Structure 1
Amino acid sequence: MKFLLFTLLCSVFVPVSVDAPGEPVTIRVTVNKDAILPCTVKNPQRVEWKRNDQLVHLFQSKEDYLINQDKHFKHRTSLFHEEMIRGNVSLKLTNVTELDAGSYTCSVPKLESQVWRDFINLTVGEYS
């Protein structure tokens, strides 16, 4: 059984304080399948998903804002808009490739000087 694991940490905001949610979650997915990267927060107004310095998905002002999305992720990401009222800001990444493996960050500003972050490690390979 082969699989690739790239661990890339990402930090975008420079907040005065950060809420640390705990240990990173690891998601395993088979090549060409879809992955759901979990993230749950209260009252999300802006949600930013990143991998390293790549913008994976941005939600703000009640809509997806994908103009600056990294081209590698174009037309392959979505959020569960109907679930956002319950705090579910999980990312769906479709047609996963080995290049998608790595560490993803879900960042949600809470107050002007605070950012909530969650870290998800995605491993991609041949799983049975």
Structure 2
Amino acid sequence: MKTSKVKMAVSRVQNQFKLTSEVYLEVKVGKEVTLPCHLSPDTSAVATTIRWFKRTECIYLYKNGQVTERSGYEGRVSLITQELKRGNVSLRLRYFRESDTGVYICQVIHGEQKEEAAVGLWIRGGKCSRTPVMFLNT
């Protein structure tokens, strides 16, 4: 009996997670990009609610195995579903457009826990390796 209580306590601890991501990415127009977001420690995300926002608009929702995509993103956004068991909730964005630049928020909800992480997505330009916007406050 004590053994099962210990196992339950361990599983509760394992349900606690954080999200890890990149600060920003650069991509060329027309290309595919993956906005990285992972549960840490590696925890299955299959039974979670996953939302990806661009600013305040939800562009992708995964809940109970069902997917909803915002208008303008249909067929261009997806999760790597076979990676959900390993905690990979990264968003794949195809056919990158100039209008896709901006800050994206990955939100994962499991039970009472809600975590968020941000990724900036910018156009990769000619000779400059970083987007000038990143230096405005320096």
Same fold (TM over 0.5): yes
Aligned with 2:24 (options 15, 23, 26): 26
CA RMSD, 1 decimal: 2.1
Identity, % of aligned positions: 27
Q: For residue 35 of structure 2, what is the aligned residue in structure 1? A: 37
Separation of aligned partners in 2, 1:22 and 1:79: 16
Residues 20 and 37, structure 2, Cα contact 8 Å, conserved in 1: no
Unpaired runs of at least 5, structure 2: 1-16, 128-138
Alignment match, 2:54: 51
- Say how many residue pairs are matched: 106
- Give the whole-Å Cα distance in 2 for the aligned partners of 1:89 and 1:127: 31
**Cα deviation, residue 53, structure 1:** 2.2
Deviations 1:21-80 (A, max 9, x none): 57862111000001100011133211000111222111110232x1xx321212100100
Counterpart for residue 109 of structure 2: 109
Runs of 4+ in 1 over 6 A off after TM superposition: none
TM-score by length of 1: 0.73
TM-score (ref. length: structure 2): 0.68
Partner AA of 1:120 in structure 2: V
